[in-house]
Structure formats: C-alpha cells, structure tokens
Amino acid sequence: MCLSTQAASDKGKDDARQPQSSGLGSVTEVEDARVWLSTCSNAGVAWVCETTASLAFADIAERFGGSLQPWTPTSPWPSLGAARAEPSEETAWEYVNAFFENCWEARLGLIHRPDFEAQLQAHFLDDSSSGNDYAEIALRNVVFAAGYRSILLKTAKIPFHAVRKEAWEGYFVNALSVLTGLLLSPSRLMVVQALALMACYVEGLGSPDIQRVLCHNAVHAALTQGLHLDHESDHRTSSSSDDRLKKTWVWWAVYALEKHFCLVSGRPSMIDDDMIRASIPSHVPSNSTIYLEANTLAARHAKICSRILREIMSTKAYRLSPHALLRVVNDIDRQLKSLLDDFPNDLQVGALAKLSEETHPMAHRIHTLYLYFAIHGSLLALHSHFFYPWLSARLCDRGPDAGLEAQLHSSSKTVTEAARKMLLAVRTVTTNAATPTWLAVTYPIYAHLSLFVHVLKYPTFPTASADLGLLDICAGHFGYIDFMTSSEISISLARESVGLAAKFVKAANKRHDKDQTSRLSHGRGTQSTNSQSKRPDNGNSQNTHPRSVSAALGQVSGHFKANSLGLC
C-alpha cells in the first residue's frame, strides 16, 4: 500500500483507494488535545504520509484509534439497590492487609491506615451505624476491591479478564452503587478519599474510562472543604496538627492525580494554582504508609505539569512569539531536570532501567516508574512545539534564525533522549489487571511515537538501527499485552509503525550509499551539477512522484477532519 516506494501496480491501487470510516474519528475530533497522540492527528498523519510517501501510516493510525475505544461493562451500570454482599470480617481484613501491602494507591497519602482500620473495626462491631454513610461504604469497598484484585494477581492460573471481572463485580460495584449519594452528600474528607481512590482503581488496565468523572469530583469535594488552604488554627494542638497534616497530604495526592490526568488527557485543570495556600509537607503523620520522598517529588512534578498545561498545551503557546516560547520551554526544562537530579537512590531506575523485586516491591516499583515516566513524558510534552515538524513549521516561517535553529536541535535531542530512556524502562513494566493504563499504554506509546518521528526525520543517522531496536521493545511490550489479555486489549500501532520505519530506514540508507558511490565515481564537476538539481537527501521517497504524494495527502485530509484542539 505504499506510493513511490512500491511497484507501480501498488501505486495505482493506492491512488484509487477510498478511505473507510473508523473509530479514529472519535480520537481526532474529540480528544486531539492529548499531546501523546499528536502523531496521530491530522497534521501528524499527513507529515508521516508525506515523509514516507505512503498511506500506510494512515491505516495504522486508523486501527489504533479503534483500539483506544474504552472498555465498557456488558451489564447496566449499578444503581443503589445493586450492591453485592460485603465480605465476612475475616475476609475483609485479608483484603485490607493486601491493599496496604500490595497496592500503590495505599502509599499516596489518600488514606491513613490506623484511621481506616479503626473505622472498619467499628463497622463490624455495629454495622447499622454506617448503613447510610455513602462515603464509608464507597471507601471500604474500593479498598476491598483493590486488595482482592492484588490477591487474585498472585494466582497465576487466573486469566486477566477473570481478575478484572471478579474484583469489579465483587466489590467495586458496591462503591459505584452509592456514587450518586456520594456526590450529593455533604462534602467531608472521606468523600474526597473515596472518590480519589475510585479514580485510582479505574486506572487499572481494561477498566472503564470513567476516571475523569471520579477525579474531577474528588477535586471539587477537596476544594469545597478548603483542603487547598493552610488553616493556622488547626495547628494549636498536636492532635489537630496531625489531622491537618493528613488533610494536606490528601490535598496534594488529589492535586497530583488531577494534574497528571489533565496532562495526559489534554483536558483543562479545575485547579487554580494561584488559590493554593497549602504547602507540600516535609513529614508524614505518625504510623503513616505515605512514601514521603516519592509523594514529595510527585507533588513538585504536578506543579510543573500545571505550568505545562497553562503555558505549553493551551492556546497561549500559539500567541507567543518563537523566542518567548523558547524562553518558557527552557525555564520549565530546567525545573524538570532539577527534579530528576533530586531523585534519591531508591527511586533511581538506573542506566539500563533494571529493577529487582527485592529492592523494589510492586507498590514501590509503581511509584518509581510513575515518576520516571511522568517526568520524562513531561519533557516530551514540553518540547513538542520545537520537535514535531507539523508544529515547529509555524515557528520557522520568518527566515533564518540561529537561536531558533539551536532550540530546534536542543529540543530534538531532549525528546529523543527522553524517549529512549522511557522505552528502555518499558522492559521493567509488569503488566496485569492492576497496572495503571498510563504505565501500560500511554507512556510507552508516547515514547514510541516520539522516537518513530525522530527516525523518520533522520533515517541515515548512525543511531537509527539502535532506535529501531528500542521501538521493537515497545512492540514486544504490546505483543505481551495482547497475549496476556487474550486479545481483549490489542494495540498493533507499535508493531506496524516499527515495520514501516525499518523499511524507510533501509531505503534511505540504500539511496544514501548509492549517492555516495555516485559522487566518488563522477568527480567534482558532475557532483556540482547534480547538487543544483537535487534536493537534500532526508530519506524521503516522495520526490520521485510528487503527484502521488499529493493524492495520498488528499485522501488523508478527507479521512481525518480538520480540527483546532490542543497540540494535536
């Protein structure tokens, strides 16, 4: 299905082919603000098709769009009367222990173990006292669901879909059954905790795409209570100081969740940073499960994410002059790299991204990988205007500019190095029903597409072969997900795009070698004549058949409706 680079018969078929409808429409029309999908936007697909002189990537992006359709349960959403029986006291404590020992959500600062266990103990002593307490019902059932899911994951014989279904229908449905009552209840701390933990739970691979509703309502409840404010009166006694510390950590956990969600989804944040008076705590409450170093770095990173959302991913970036945008990018870049320099040893992934179960238990691994992928992913988003050709073109329409050229080179280097590190780290990701989607899908795809674009820009670079190897790592990662989920989650983009890139690199190097031989054999005179009639060799095959490429881009333009959302 390639133009110019394939046989003439294939070219004719492509010129005559009519695009078919697909699920990608929903991606390009509704969610184009997702910067990690920029390569699959109208402009991104058009650039790849023009560069490779092929419609192949349009088909790849089309199939990818269909694979992004969120999983939805086959049964109706539960109502208040749809709650299932809760576990016995003995089983409940087993699930609670599993939650606090195995689940990454337990270490975010959203839930204080001694308080939760005291509340659960009181429930079993008098279960009538919490019968109509929607927040308490939701909180304990999301803990049961997460703990139960972590136990099921340790049983190798239980397939992916069974683990997800058992935990979802067994206990998480109980939390959902009181969602309406939870949202309409008077706002209090437990409402925030329940909604935020539910948002974390549905991050699990293959879960319904309802995190936005849960996360944004958790933020609304937190703001309503004033958790973002610093109430000095709460520090009068040791007890009240400890309570305030717990509330402050809940706030920063919710803040980090929301800013991260907005960055990867491209949606605007509900939180106005100028209204926040609470500081990031330097210590944790007594007997806390909070991972101090990781949560502190996550909160600091979230504040940087907020700047990226306001100054890079909003329309504000398009109103800035190239040099004003350059200064903003470099300032935020320094903040992100300073954050990386502050990583303690136990949060270092390592040069080859090797983690061991002994030094990094699963919950610790998730925190480590979150920080690693999120910060490097932020570097990709930050430099997007200077890296993606379809975005940087508008910055380069004012003639030669040495400062701008230097920034284009610097941003390309930053994005490429970050993408390589992320793809190396993909090897450490343990994928199962509890693995967050951002870890299993979003960041691997983002890194893959970024390095894919780099390879297409510079196919004759000495690093191209090694970069193809890294792209293969990502293809293998999604191959395992396909196998592990029995093709319930099947994403072919990585495998198909690396195949396209490999063919392009091979053709570009073959042409490059041929040109080198030709120059040596024809001498300086012929070489000078040829240089005036040739374009610089950037590996593009479309120069041979410009009309074919025009036809291809016409089909792509018809296939993907124009849009003006976000960076995509």
More confident position, 235 or 562: 235
More confident position, 239 or 191: 191
**φ and ψ of 512, to 5 deg:** -65, -45
Task: Give Cα 337 to chain centroid, integer Å.
Answer: 19
Q: What is the pLDDT of residue 481?
A: 95
Q: What is the pLDDT of residue 141?
A: 97
At 538, the pLDDT band (50, 70, 90 cuts) reads: very low
Token couple for 145: 């669901």
At 339, the pLDDT band (50, 70, 90 cuts) reads: very high
First to last CA, the chain: 25
The whole-number average pLDDT for the span 115-140 is 87
Q: What is the pLDDT of residue 505?
A: 96
Angle among Cα 201, 259, 381 to the nearest 5 degrees reads 110
d(CA 53, CA 508): 12
Strand, helix or coil at 54? strand
Q: Which residues contact 430 (CB under 8 A, 6 or more apart)?
A: 362, 365
Q: What is the pLDDT of residue 131?
A: 67
Q: Which residues contact 236 (CB under 8 A, 6 or more apart)?
A: none
d(CA 411, CA 422): 16
Token couple for 529: 């004549």
Q: What is the pLDDT of residue 33?
A: 52
Q: How far lies 60's CA from each of 40, 449, 495, in Å?
A: 9, 12, 10
d(CA 332, CA 381): 11
d(CA 534, CA 528): 10
2 DSSP β-pair partners: 54
More confident position, 137 or 358: 137
Q: What is the pLDDT of residue 16?
A: 35
- Indicate if the alpha-carbon torsion angle 215, 220, 225, 229 is positive or negative: positive
292-309 pLDDT tens trace: 999 999 999 999 999 999
d(CA 375, CA 264): 12
The position carrying tokens 């036809």 is 551
Q: What is the pLDDT of residue 512?
A: 82
Q: What is the pLDDT of residue 401?
A: 84
Residue type, 215: C
Strand, helix or coil at 2? strand
Token couple for 21: 């409808």
For residue 206, is pLDDT > 70? yes
Most confident stretch, 11-15, 335-339, 345-349, 544-548: 335-339
For residue 385, is pLDDT > 90? yes
Q: What is the pLDDT of residue 29?
A: 35
Angle among Cα 359, 360, 364 to the nearest 5 degrees reads 140
For residue 462, is pLDDT > 90? yes
Strand, helix or coil at 517? helix
Q: How far lies 471's CA from each of 419, 448, 454, in Å?
A: 10, 6, 11
For residue 193, is pLDDT > 70? yes
The whole-number average pLDDT for the span 331-343 is 95
d(CA 290, CA 242): 14
At 71, the pLDDT band (50, 70, 90 cuts) reads: low
Q: What is the pLDDT of residue 209?
A: 83
4-13, 147-156, 380-389: least confident range: 4-13
Mean pLDDT of the chain: 83
Neighbours of 167 (CB within 10 A): 27
Counting residues of the chain whose pLDDT is more than 90, the rounded percentage is: 64
At 242, the pLDDT band (50, 70, 90 cuts) reads: confident
The whole-number average pLDDT for the span 110-126 is 94
Task: Give Cα 444 to chain centroid, integer Å.
Answer: 8
Residue type, 335: Q
248-291 pLDDT tens trace: 999 999 999 999 999 998 889 999 999 999 999 999 998 898 99
Token couple for 357: 């179960």
d(CA 312, CA 328): 8
The whole-number average pLDDT for the span 528-546 is 42
For residue 22, is pLDDT > 90? no
What is the phi-psi region of residue 266: left when phi exceeds 0, alpha when psi lies from -120 to 50, beta otherwise? left
**Whether the Cβ atoms of residue 396 and residue 404 lie closer than 8 Å to each other:** yes
| Three-state helix/strand/coil letters over 204-260 | ECCCCCCHHHHHHHHHHHHHHHCCCCCCHHHHCCHHHHHHHHHHHHHHHHHHHHHHH
**Whether the Cβ atoms of residue 34 and residue 265 lie closer than 8 Å to each other:** yes
Q: Which residues contact 116 (CB under 8 A, 6 or more apart)?
A: 96, 139, 140, 143
Residue type, 139: L
H and E: helices and strands count for the chain: 25, 0
158-188 pLDDT tens trace: 899 999 999 999 999 999 999 999 999 888 9
Q: Which residues contact 383 (CB under 8 A, 6 or more apart)?
A: 329, 333, 411, 414, 415
The whole-number average pLDDT for the span 81-110 is 91
Burial class for 126, CB neighbours closer than 10 Å (0-12, 13-18, 19+): exposed
Q: pTM (2 decimals)?
A: 0.84
At 349, the pLDDT band (50, 70, 90 cuts) reads: confident
DSSP code, position 436: B
Q: What is the pLDDT of residue 533?
A: 44
d(CA 101, CA 57): 44
**Whether the Cβ atoms of residue 53 and residue 549 lie closer than 8 Å to each other:** yes
More confident position, 561 or 512: 512
25-34, 169-178, 364-373, 508-517: least confident range: 25-34
54 DSSP β-pair partners: 2
